[in-house]
């Protein structure tokens, strides 16, 4: 029983690293059977004995621009039509990742899809996998970012330090294209509860016992650095909360943008060291794969999760402690997405990837973590962001919506620097060794860009808070209470998504001027 509980916590934590809520409950496939599997499975794709699985009516990720345009000027549930690589798609307008977009209807909602003899959905074109529906341009679009920032505002102005500390673990060292793999899964299962598990377990079964030992050793070596990154976030969170509450250090008048950027740069350099070490291991291991190992992975490439082999956990991984197992699972899934992916996939991120210090992940995910029967509404970010803005005056709302333009140069800078970093790290796959100093310098710049974003968010949201009337504050708190109830404010804090007692936080005075 204890093992099952640990696995449940592990899988929920990994699932919450996905960017968007799914219409499927979070607690899918929480039990893993353990087999004495030590040999490489056959390279041929093995479909499950019962080759059907429920497909959500909407998937995760940012909708394609054609789907967004099809609902311009329309309301939810209006009929719509657009053209994709599959041809003409018809459906209804729905909120998907904060955007009103045309959601194709392929038969009854949640209908099981029967696979043909080749493991494909009837009438599907597997070449679509090479033409991504979700891309970085949509993720950084004004509309996606506007809804994300408005949701951040609601979370921050009604939350607290403990809630702000909640942070999915998959947002650290994320240059491997896994988010891209999720959002562009041809079988639309990218945000199913067992997607990461399926990718990770297939890779772990491809590896030899010796190679799995190497991953475990890397995990044990990196756990302290991973946790250090999580704890160092608290200094920024505390500074932003103190600013919001008007608790400025004596002799200061506000946040120092230069200090916030410098501290953020330090964090991202830690991320860079973690990422570089992982890329080195991933590249070395993939380059050592046998023909059979490569053939197995190639058989999964470009195909949806529904066609992936069904495998079980290698017995030698059963006794790992939680932190190490989370890392090993992450590594395995990331290795698969990196091998089958590209630089474009590595650069990709979802709209809420940056500016992560304001409690929006808690507001969105904590109810699902606490109640396995609860499904995160796909329109939560957009709907509550709109409610937030409708509570404000036009001047107050402008302080929030104006952040879209303010952060645009920094966000584009992030896209550009992620591309440069991804190109460097992929040198390991080519059998080369990238200059670590160059990578670390790029990560410093990356951190400074995110520092600019979080500085401006903190300053503008604080200005909104200072101008709120008591009635406005009550209305915003009521939105949070209606959503979360007794979960509105945690009793402690979080190290990523793991509850912890509130840690002793070093002074954040250095971030003020």
Looking at residue 375, what is its pLDDT?
80
> Is residue 60 a part of any domain in this protein?
no
**Residue 162 lies inside a defined structural domain of this protein:** yes
Residue 402 C-beta-side C-alpha neighbours within 13 Å: 12
Residue 162 confidence (pLDDT): 98
The last residue of one of the domains, among 102, 124, 158, is: 102
Instruction: Report the interhelical angle of 380-390 vs 142-158 (nearest 10°).
Output: 70
Residue 6 included in any domain: no
* Residue spans of the chain under pLDDT 70: 1-63, 75-78, 84-87, 94-100, 104-132
pLDDT value of residue 132: 59
Residues 72 and 214 in one domain: no
pLDDT reported for residue 53: 31
Report pLDDT for 426: 98
My answer on whether 89 and 142 are in the same domain is: no
Residue 112 lies in a domain: no
Per-residue exposure over 425-442, b if at least 16 CB sit within 10 Å of its own CB, e if not: bbebeeeeebeeeebbeb
Does some domain include residue 225? yes
Contacts of 449 (CB under 8 A, 6+ apart): 410, 411, 413, 414, 417
Question: Which of helix, strand or coil describes residue 313?
Answer: strand
Query: Do 190 and 80 belong to one domain?
Result: no
The pLDDT, as a whole number, for residue 86 is 59
Q: Is there a domain that residue 406 lies in?
A: yes
Residues 179 and 91 in one domain: no
397 and 337 belong to one structural domain: yes
Please report the pLDDT score of residue 94 as a whole number: 66
User: Is the separation of the CB atoms in 20 and 60 below 8 Å?
Assistant: yes
pLDDT for 119 equals: 29
Tell me whether residue 332 is exposed, middle or buried, using C-beta atoms within 10 angstroms of its C-beta: 0 to 12, 13 to 18, 19 or more: buried
Count of C-beta atoms within a 10 Å radius of residue 291: 8
Residue 108 lies in a domain: no
- pTM score of the predicted model: 0.79
Shared-domain flag, residues 329 and 418: yes
Residues 94 and 205 in one domain: no
Residue 34, strand partner residues: 313
User: Are residue 90 and residue 156 in the same domain, yes or no?
Assistant: no
Is there a single domain that holds both residue 244 and residue 96?
Answer: no
3-class DSSP state of 454: helix
Domain shared by 192 and 324, yes or no: yes
88 shares a domain with 209: no
- The answer to whether 169 and 326 are in contact (CB under 8 A) is yes
Q: Is residue 116 part of a domain?
A: no
Range of the domain at 93: 65-102
Nearest to 58 by CA among 11, 105, 15: 105
When divided into structural domains, the chain yields a total of 2
Q: Please report the pLDDT score of residue 43 as a whole number.
A: 36
Do 88 and 148 share a domain, yes or no?
no
- Give the pLDDT confidence score for residue 240 in this predicted structure: 99
């Amino acid at each position: 029983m204890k093992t099952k509980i640990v696995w449940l916590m592990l899988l929920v934590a990994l699932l919450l690293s996905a960017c968007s809520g799914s219409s499927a409950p979070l607690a899918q496939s929480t039990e893993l059977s353990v087999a004495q599997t030590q040999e490489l499975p056959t390279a041929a794709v093995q479909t499950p004995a019962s080759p059907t699985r429920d497909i959500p009516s909407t998937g995760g990720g940012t909708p394609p621009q054609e789907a967004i345009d099809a609902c311009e000027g329309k309301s939810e549930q209006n009929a719509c039509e657009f053209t994709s690589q599959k041809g003409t798609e018809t459906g209804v307008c729905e909120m998907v990742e904060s955007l009103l977009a045309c959601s194709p209807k392929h038969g009854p909602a949640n209908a099981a899809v029967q696979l043909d003899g080749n493991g494909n959905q009837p009438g599907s074109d597997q070449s679509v996998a090479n033409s991504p529906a979700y891309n970085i341009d949509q993720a950084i679009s004004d509309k996606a970012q506007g809804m994300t920032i408005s949701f951040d505002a609601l979370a921050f102005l009604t939350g607290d330090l403990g809630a702000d500390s909640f942070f999915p673990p998959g947002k650290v060292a994320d240059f491997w294209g896994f988010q891209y793999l999720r959002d562009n899964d041809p079988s639309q299962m990218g945000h199913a509860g067992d997607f990461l598990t399926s990718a990770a377990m297939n890779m772990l079964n491809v590896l030899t016992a010796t190679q799995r030992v190497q991953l475990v050793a890397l995990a044990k070596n990196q756990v302290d650095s991973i946790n250090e990154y999580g704890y160092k976030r608290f200094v920024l969170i505390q500074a932003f909360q103190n600013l919001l509450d008007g608790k400025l250090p004596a002799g200061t008048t506000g946040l120092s943008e230069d200090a916030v950027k410098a501290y953020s740069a330090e964090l991202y350099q830690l991320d860079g060291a973690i990422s570089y070490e992982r890329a080195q291991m991933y590249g070395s291991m993939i380059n050592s794969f046998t023909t059979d190992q490569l053939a197995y992975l190639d058989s999964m490439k470009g195909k949806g999760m529904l066609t992936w082999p069904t495998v079980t956990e290698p017995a030698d991984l059963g006794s790992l402690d939680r932190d190490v197992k989370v890392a090993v699972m992450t590594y395995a899934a990331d290795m698969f997405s990196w091998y089958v992916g590209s630089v474009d996939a590595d650069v990709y991120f979802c709209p809420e990837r940056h500016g992560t210090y304001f409690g929006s992940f808690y507001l969105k995910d904590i109810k699902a973590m606490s109640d396995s029967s609860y499904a995160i509404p796909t329109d939560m970010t957009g709907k509550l962001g709109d409610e937030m803005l409708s509570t404000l005056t036009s001047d107050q709302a402008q302080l929030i919506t104006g952040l879209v333009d303010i952060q645009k140069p920094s966000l584009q800078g992030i896209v550009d620097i992620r591309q440069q970093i991804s190109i460097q790290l992929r040198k390991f796959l080519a059998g080369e060794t990238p200059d670590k100093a160059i990578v670390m310098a790029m990560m410093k710049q990356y951190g400074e860009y995110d520092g600019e974003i979080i500085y401006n968010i903190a300053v503008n949201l604080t200005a909104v808070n200072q101008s709120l009337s008591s009635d406005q504050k009550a209305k915003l708190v009521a939105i949070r209470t209606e959503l979360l109830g007794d979960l509105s404010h945690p009793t402690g804090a979080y190290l990523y998504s793991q509850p912890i007692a509130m840690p002793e936080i070093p002074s954040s005075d250095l971030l003020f001027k």
